[in-house]
Structure 1
Amino acid sequence: MQSLRTFFAQHHPLKATTMRQATALFSPATLRKNHFFIREGEIARNLAFLESGIVRGFYRKDNGEEFNKVLFSAPSFIGDYASLICGRPALVSQQALTDARIWVADYRQFTLLYETCPDLERFARKWAEAIFVQKEQREIELASLDAARRYHNFRKAFPEVEQQIPQYHIASWLGISPSHLSRIRRKITVT
Protein backbone atom coordinates (compact mmCIF):
# COMPACT_ATOMS: atom_id res chain seq x y z
CA MET A 1 0.00 0.00 0.00
CA GLN A 2 2.91 2.36 0.61
CA SER A 3 3.87 2.20 -3.07
CA LEU A 4 0.32 3.32 -3.98
CA ARG A 5 0.57 6.24 -1.57
CA THR A 6 3.95 7.17 -3.04
CA PHE A 7 2.53 6.97 -6.57
CA PHE A 8 -0.31 9.33 -5.67
CA ALA A 9 2.13 11.77 -4.03
CA GLN A 10 4.48 11.76 -7.04
CA HIS A 11 1.72 12.88 -9.40
CA HIS A 12 -0.18 15.23 -7.11
CA PRO A 13 -0.07 15.59 -3.33
CA LEU A 14 -3.28 14.45 -1.64
CA LYS A 15 -4.67 15.62 1.68
CA ALA A 16 -4.40 13.02 4.42
CA THR A 17 -8.16 12.53 4.46
CA THR A 18 -8.26 12.07 0.68
CA MET A 19 -5.37 9.62 0.83
CA ARG A 20 -7.21 7.55 3.47
CA GLN A 21 -10.45 7.54 1.51
CA ALA A 22 -8.80 6.71 -1.81
CA THR A 23 -6.50 3.95 -0.56
CA ALA A 24 -9.36 2.37 1.42
CA LEU A 25 -10.98 1.52 -1.94
CA PHE A 26 -8.06 -0.71 -3.01
CA SER A 27 -7.73 -4.38 -2.11
CA PRO A 28 -4.61 -6.46 -2.68
CA ALA A 29 -4.64 -9.15 -5.34
CA THR A 30 -2.25 -11.25 -7.38
CA LEU A 31 -2.33 -11.46 -11.13
CA ARG A 32 -0.47 -14.63 -12.14
CA LYS A 33 1.66 -14.79 -15.26
CA ASN A 34 -0.50 -15.19 -18.38
CA HIS A 35 -3.72 -14.39 -16.49
CA PHE A 36 -5.91 -11.54 -17.64
CA PHE A 37 -6.94 -8.40 -15.81
CA ILE A 38 -9.53 -7.77 -18.53
CA ARG A 39 -10.31 -9.44 -21.83
CA GLU A 40 -11.47 -7.92 -25.09
CA GLY A 41 -15.26 -7.77 -25.10
CA GLU A 42 -15.70 -7.45 -21.33
CA ILE A 43 -17.00 -4.26 -19.78
CA ALA A 44 -14.42 -2.88 -17.35
CA ARG A 45 -15.51 -2.15 -13.82
CA ASN A 46 -12.16 -2.02 -11.99
CA LEU A 47 -8.87 -0.25 -12.20
CA ALA A 48 -5.77 -1.53 -10.48
CA PHE A 49 -2.49 -0.17 -9.25
CA LEU A 50 0.36 -2.33 -10.52
CA GLU A 51 2.73 -2.61 -7.57
CA SER A 52 5.06 -5.13 -9.19
CA GLY A 53 5.20 -7.05 -12.43
CA ILE A 54 4.63 -6.40 -16.12
CA VAL A 55 1.28 -6.34 -17.92
CA ARG A 56 0.66 -5.95 -21.62
CA GLY A 57 -2.34 -4.38 -23.32
CA PHE A 58 -2.94 -6.00 -26.69
CA TYR A 59 -5.48 -6.50 -29.42
CA ARG A 60 -5.88 -9.12 -32.10
CA LYS A 61 -5.86 -8.23 -35.76
CA ASP A 62 -8.42 -9.83 -38.08
CA ASN A 63 -5.90 -12.53 -38.98
CA GLY A 64 -5.49 -13.47 -35.29
CA GLU A 65 -2.07 -11.85 -34.93
CA GLU A 66 -1.60 -10.05 -31.62
CA PHE A 67 -0.24 -6.52 -31.38
CA ASN A 68 1.05 -5.22 -28.05
CA LYS A 69 -0.39 -1.73 -27.80
CA VAL A 70 1.03 -0.89 -24.38
CA LEU A 71 3.36 -2.31 -21.75
CA PHE A 72 2.74 -1.48 -18.11
CA SER A 73 5.58 -1.84 -15.64
CA ALA A 74 5.30 -1.02 -11.97
CA PRO A 75 4.37 1.43 -10.65
CA SER A 76 1.39 2.18 -12.85
CA PHE A 77 -2.36 1.96 -13.09
CA ILE A 78 -3.91 -0.67 -15.33
CA GLY A 79 -7.43 -1.01 -16.66
CA ASP A 80 -9.21 -0.47 -19.94
CA TYR A 81 -9.85 3.25 -19.57
CA ALA A 82 -12.05 3.61 -22.65
CA SER A 83 -14.30 0.87 -21.29
CA LEU A 84 -14.24 2.36 -17.79
CA ILE A 85 -15.12 5.84 -19.02
CA CYS A 86 -17.60 4.96 -21.77
CA GLY A 87 -19.07 1.73 -20.43
CA ARG A 88 -18.45 -0.03 -23.74
CA PRO A 89 -16.82 -3.46 -24.17
CA ALA A 90 -13.03 -3.41 -23.98
CA LEU A 91 -11.20 -3.45 -27.29
CA VAL A 92 -7.88 -4.30 -25.65
CA SER A 93 -7.05 -7.26 -23.40
CA GLN A 94 -4.64 -6.82 -20.50
CA GLN A 95 -2.55 -9.84 -19.58
CA ALA A 96 0.23 -10.34 -17.03
CA LEU A 97 3.58 -11.18 -18.62
CA THR A 98 5.04 -11.88 -15.17
CA ASP A 99 3.46 -12.55 -11.81
CA ALA A 100 2.11 -9.21 -10.64
CA ARG A 101 1.00 -7.71 -7.34
CA ILE A 102 -1.91 -5.37 -7.83
CA TRP A 103 -4.31 -3.30 -5.75
CA VAL A 104 -7.81 -3.35 -7.23
CA ALA A 105 -10.54 -0.72 -6.83
CA ASP A 106 -14.01 -0.23 -8.22
CA TYR A 107 -13.64 2.57 -10.76
CA ARG A 108 -17.07 4.05 -10.08
CA GLN A 109 -16.36 4.28 -6.35
CA PHE A 110 -12.99 5.86 -7.09
CA THR A 111 -14.48 8.54 -9.32
CA LEU A 112 -17.32 9.26 -6.86
CA LEU A 113 -14.65 10.60 -4.52
CA TYR A 114 -13.97 13.40 -7.01
CA GLU A 115 -17.09 15.18 -5.72
CA THR A 116 -15.70 15.58 -2.21
CA CYS A 117 -11.98 15.29 -2.94
CA PRO A 118 -10.96 17.77 -5.64
CA ASP A 119 -7.31 16.95 -4.98
CA LEU A 120 -7.99 13.36 -6.11
CA GLU A 121 -9.68 14.64 -9.24
CA ARG A 122 -6.64 16.84 -9.90
CA PHE A 123 -4.38 13.78 -9.44
CA ALA A 124 -6.51 11.88 -11.98
CA ARG A 125 -6.30 14.75 -14.47
CA LYS A 126 -2.53 15.04 -14.13
CA TRP A 127 -2.10 11.31 -14.46
CA ALA A 128 -4.37 11.23 -17.55
CA GLU A 129 -2.37 14.08 -19.07
CA ALA A 130 0.87 12.14 -18.51
CA ILE A 131 -0.64 9.07 -20.19
CA PHE A 132 -1.81 11.20 -23.11
CA VAL A 133 1.71 12.55 -23.62
CA GLN A 134 3.19 9.03 -23.49
CA LYS A 135 0.61 7.76 -25.98
CA GLU A 136 1.29 10.62 -28.39
CA GLN A 137 5.04 10.06 -28.13
CA ARG A 138 4.58 6.35 -28.88
CA GLU A 139 2.42 7.09 -31.93
CA ILE A 140 5.01 9.54 -33.26
CA GLU A 141 7.81 7.02 -32.69
CA LEU A 142 5.92 4.26 -34.52
CA ALA A 143 5.31 6.58 -37.48
CA SER A 144 8.64 8.38 -37.71
CA LEU A 145 11.48 6.32 -36.22
CA ASP A 146 13.15 3.27 -37.64
CA ALA A 147 12.99 0.02 -35.69
CA ALA A 148 16.51 0.33 -34.27
CA ARG A 149 15.75 3.73 -32.79
CA ARG A 150 12.42 2.51 -31.38
CA TYR A 151 14.27 -0.39 -29.75
CA HIS A 152 16.82 2.01 -28.27
CA ASN A 153 13.98 4.12 -26.84
CA PHE A 154 12.29 0.99 -25.48
CA ARG A 155 15.47 0.03 -23.60
CA LYS A 156 15.67 3.51 -22.09
CA ALA A 157 12.01 3.57 -21.08
CA PHE A 158 11.85 -0.02 -19.79
CA PRO A 159 15.38 -0.99 -18.71
CA GLU A 160 14.19 -3.75 -16.39
CA VAL A 161 11.65 -5.31 -18.75
CA GLU A 162 13.81 -6.82 -21.49
CA GLN A 163 15.18 -9.64 -19.34
CA GLN A 164 11.77 -10.50 -17.88
CA ILE A 165 9.54 -11.05 -20.91
CA PRO A 166 9.82 -12.99 -24.18
CA GLN A 167 11.43 -11.12 -27.05
CA TYR A 168 8.40 -11.61 -29.30
CA HIS A 169 6.38 -9.38 -26.95
CA ILE A 170 8.99 -6.66 -27.29
CA ALA A 171 9.01 -7.09 -31.08
CA SER A 172 5.22 -6.78 -31.14
CA TRP A 173 5.35 -3.61 -29.06
CA LEU A 174 7.95 -2.21 -31.46
CA GLY A 175 5.78 -3.11 -34.45
CA ILE A 176 8.36 -5.46 -35.97
CA SER A 177 8.87 -9.19 -36.37
CA PRO A 178 10.87 -11.19 -33.80
CA SER A 179 13.50 -11.96 -36.46
CA HIS A 180 13.91 -8.23 -37.19
CA LEU A 181 14.41 -7.60 -33.46
CA SER A 182 17.04 -10.36 -33.36
CA ARG A 183 18.95 -8.68 -36.20
CA ILE A 184 18.84 -5.32 -34.38
CA ARG A 185 20.04 -6.92 -31.14
CA ARG A 186 22.91 -8.71 -32.95
CA LYS A 187 24.05 -5.40 -34.46
CA ILE A 188 24.08 -3.80 -31.01
CA THR A 189 26.17 -6.59 -29.45
CA VAL A 190 28.65 -6.48 -32.37
CA THR A 191 29.24 -2.73 -32.08
Structure 2
Amino acid sequence: MKIAYIKTQKSGDSDDLLASLVAQLQAAGRQVAGVIRDQTYAPSHANGCDMKLRVLPQGPVIKITQELGAGSDACRLDAGALMQVVALVETGSISGSDLFVLNKFGPEERLGRGFCSAIASAIDHGVPVLVGVGSASEAALITFAGGQAEALDADLVHLHRWWSNARPEHQPLQT
Protein backbone atom coordinates (compact mmCIF):
# COMPACT_ATOMS: atom_id res chain seq x y z
CA MET A 1 0.00 0.00 0.00
CA LYS A 2 1.36 3.40 -0.99
CA ILE A 3 -0.50 6.22 0.70
CA ALA A 4 1.03 9.52 1.73
CA TYR A 5 -0.19 12.85 2.98
CA ILE A 6 0.89 16.44 3.29
CA LYS A 7 0.04 19.04 5.89
CA THR A 8 0.80 22.71 5.52
CA GLN A 9 0.77 25.50 8.05
CA LYS A 10 -1.20 27.95 5.93
CA SER A 11 -4.68 27.14 4.62
CA GLY A 12 -4.64 26.66 0.87
CA ASP A 13 -0.95 25.86 0.57
CA SER A 14 -1.57 22.13 0.20
CA ASP A 15 -4.14 22.88 -2.52
CA ASP A 16 -1.54 24.91 -4.43
CA LEU A 17 1.09 22.22 -4.00
CA LEU A 18 -1.18 19.37 -5.12
CA ALA A 19 -2.41 21.40 -8.12
CA SER A 20 1.20 22.05 -9.16
CA LEU A 21 2.12 18.38 -8.85
CA VAL A 22 -0.94 17.30 -10.85
CA ALA A 23 -0.19 19.87 -13.59
CA GLN A 24 3.42 18.70 -13.87
CA LEU A 25 2.50 15.02 -13.98
CA GLN A 26 -0.24 15.59 -16.55
CA ALA A 27 2.13 17.68 -18.69
CA ALA A 28 4.50 14.69 -18.61
CA GLY A 29 1.72 12.44 -19.92
CA ARG A 30 0.85 10.79 -16.61
CA GLN A 31 -2.72 9.84 -15.73
CA VAL A 32 -3.93 11.33 -12.45
CA ALA A 33 -7.30 10.49 -10.87
CA GLY A 34 -9.09 12.06 -7.91
CA VAL A 35 -9.85 15.72 -7.16
CA ILE A 36 -8.05 18.96 -6.56
CA ARG A 37 -9.38 22.32 -5.50
CA ASP A 38 -10.18 24.50 -8.50
CA GLN A 39 -7.45 27.15 -8.49
CA THR A 40 -9.39 29.56 -10.73
CA TYR A 41 -12.33 29.97 -8.35
CA ALA A 42 -12.20 33.01 -6.08
CA PRO A 43 -13.94 32.04 -2.82
CA SER A 44 -16.24 34.55 -1.20
CA HIS A 45 -15.28 33.44 2.33
CA ALA A 46 -11.77 33.95 3.69
CA ASN A 47 -11.96 30.82 5.87
CA GLY A 48 -11.71 28.48 2.88
CA CYS A 49 -15.21 27.10 3.35
CA ASP A 50 -16.28 28.04 -0.15
CA MET A 51 -14.82 25.91 -2.91
CA LYS A 52 -15.08 24.13 -6.18
CA LEU A 53 -13.39 20.83 -6.93
CA ARG A 54 -11.96 19.74 -10.26
CA VAL A 55 -12.50 16.07 -11.01
CA LEU A 56 -9.34 14.58 -12.49
CA PRO A 57 -8.15 14.08 -15.10
CA GLN A 58 -10.25 16.46 -17.23
CA GLY A 59 -13.04 17.90 -15.08
CA PRO A 60 -15.81 18.85 -14.58
CA VAL A 61 -15.49 21.54 -11.93
CA ILE A 62 -18.24 21.38 -9.30
CA LYS A 63 -19.00 23.73 -6.42
CA ILE A 64 -19.30 21.66 -3.22
CA THR A 65 -20.36 24.41 -0.86
CA GLN A 66 -23.60 26.32 -0.49
CA GLU A 67 -24.38 29.93 0.28
CA LEU A 68 -25.78 30.25 3.80
CA GLY A 69 -25.45 33.99 4.25
CA ALA A 70 -22.70 36.15 5.66
CA GLY A 71 -23.60 35.64 9.31
CA SER A 72 -23.88 31.86 9.22
CA ASP A 73 -21.35 29.74 11.05
CA ALA A 74 -22.92 26.42 9.98
CA CYS A 75 -21.12 23.96 7.73
CA ARG A 76 -21.33 25.14 4.13
CA LEU A 77 -20.72 21.71 2.60
CA ASP A 78 -23.29 20.76 -0.01
CA ALA A 79 -23.47 17.02 0.67
CA GLY A 80 -25.34 16.36 -2.58
CA ALA A 81 -22.69 18.10 -4.66
CA LEU A 82 -19.94 16.24 -2.82
CA MET A 83 -21.70 12.93 -3.50
CA GLN A 84 -21.86 13.89 -7.19
CA VAL A 85 -18.10 14.53 -7.24
CA VAL A 86 -17.41 11.25 -5.41
CA ALA A 87 -19.58 9.34 -7.92
CA LEU A 88 -17.70 10.89 -10.86
CA VAL A 89 -14.35 9.96 -9.32
CA GLU A 90 -15.47 6.41 -8.54
CA THR A 91 -16.74 5.82 -12.08
CA GLY A 92 -13.59 7.34 -13.59
CA SER A 93 -10.31 5.72 -14.46
CA ILE A 94 -8.82 5.08 -11.04
CA SER A 95 -7.47 1.65 -11.97
CA GLY A 96 -5.44 2.90 -14.94
CA SER A 97 -3.97 5.91 -13.16
CA ASP A 98 -0.42 6.67 -12.16
CA LEU A 99 -1.55 8.58 -9.05
CA PHE A 100 -4.72 9.24 -7.06
CA VAL A 101 -4.92 12.71 -5.46
CA LEU A 102 -7.42 13.96 -2.90
CA ASN A 103 -7.25 17.63 -1.97
CA LYS A 104 -8.39 17.00 1.60
CA PHE A 105 -9.09 14.04 3.83
CA GLY A 106 -11.68 15.86 5.91
CA PRO A 107 -14.77 15.49 8.09
CA GLU A 108 -16.69 13.26 5.67
CA GLU A 109 -13.75 10.87 5.35
CA ARG A 110 -13.24 10.87 9.13
CA LEU A 111 -16.75 9.41 9.30
CA GLY A 112 -15.93 6.74 6.69
CA ARG A 113 -17.82 8.54 3.93
CA GLY A 114 -16.78 10.91 1.18
CA PHE A 115 -13.81 9.64 -0.81
CA CYS A 116 -12.99 6.64 1.41
CA SER A 117 -14.18 4.06 -1.11
CA ALA A 118 -12.33 5.84 -3.95
CA ILE A 119 -9.11 5.80 -1.91
CA ALA A 120 -9.65 2.10 -1.15
CA SER A 121 -10.21 1.41 -4.86
CA ALA A 122 -6.97 3.15 -5.77
CA ILE A 123 -5.09 1.16 -3.13
CA ASP A 124 -6.70 -2.08 -4.33
CA HIS A 125 -5.49 -1.31 -7.87
CA GLY A 126 -1.96 -0.50 -6.72
CA VAL A 127 -2.30 3.20 -7.50
CA PRO A 128 -0.29 5.45 -5.14
CA VAL A 129 -2.51 7.80 -3.12
CA LEU A 130 -1.57 11.33 -2.06
CA VAL A 131 -3.88 13.43 0.10
CA GLY A 132 -3.91 16.75 1.86
CA VAL A 133 -4.94 16.62 5.50
CA GLY A 134 -5.50 19.06 8.33
CA SER A 135 -4.53 18.50 11.93
CA ALA A 136 -8.11 17.60 12.90
CA SER A 137 -8.18 14.69 10.44
CA GLU A 138 -4.59 13.42 10.53
CA ALA A 139 -5.21 10.70 13.15
CA ALA A 140 -8.31 9.48 11.29
CA LEU A 141 -6.33 9.23 8.04
CA ILE A 142 -3.58 7.24 9.74
CA THR A 143 -6.19 4.91 11.24
CA PHE A 144 -7.98 4.59 7.88
CA ALA A 145 -4.66 3.63 6.26
CA GLY A 146 -3.95 1.03 8.93
CA GLY A 147 -0.95 3.01 10.15
CA GLN A 148 0.61 2.87 6.67
CA ALA A 149 0.15 6.54 5.67
CA GLU A 150 3.46 8.32 5.20
CA ALA A 151 3.81 12.00 6.13
CA LEU A 152 5.65 13.92 3.42
CA ASP A 153 7.44 17.24 3.42
CA ALA A 154 5.23 19.79 1.69
CA ASP A 155 7.45 20.61 -1.28
CA LEU A 156 7.34 19.54 -4.92
CA VAL A 157 10.77 17.92 -4.96
CA HIS A 158 9.81 15.64 -2.07
CA LEU A 159 6.41 14.82 -3.63
CA HIS A 160 8.00 13.91 -6.97
CA ARG A 161 10.57 11.73 -5.21
CA TRP A 162 7.86 9.91 -3.23
CA TRP A 163 5.70 9.41 -6.32
CA SER A 164 8.64 8.18 -8.38
CA ASN A 165 9.38 5.53 -5.76
CA ALA A 166 5.72 4.67 -5.12
CA ARG A 167 4.53 4.09 -8.67
CA PRO A 168 4.56 0.53 -9.90
CA GLU A 169 6.78 0.82 -12.96
CA HIS A 170 9.55 3.03 -11.47
CA GLN A 171 10.29 4.66 -14.83
CA PRO A 172 12.09 8.00 -14.86
CA LEU A 173 9.78 10.98 -15.13
CA GLN A 174 10.34 13.15 -18.18
CA THR A 175 10.04 16.80 -17.09
* TM-score normalised by L of structure 1: 0.22
More strand by percentage = 1
* TM-score normalised by L of structure 2: 0.24
More helix by percentage = 1
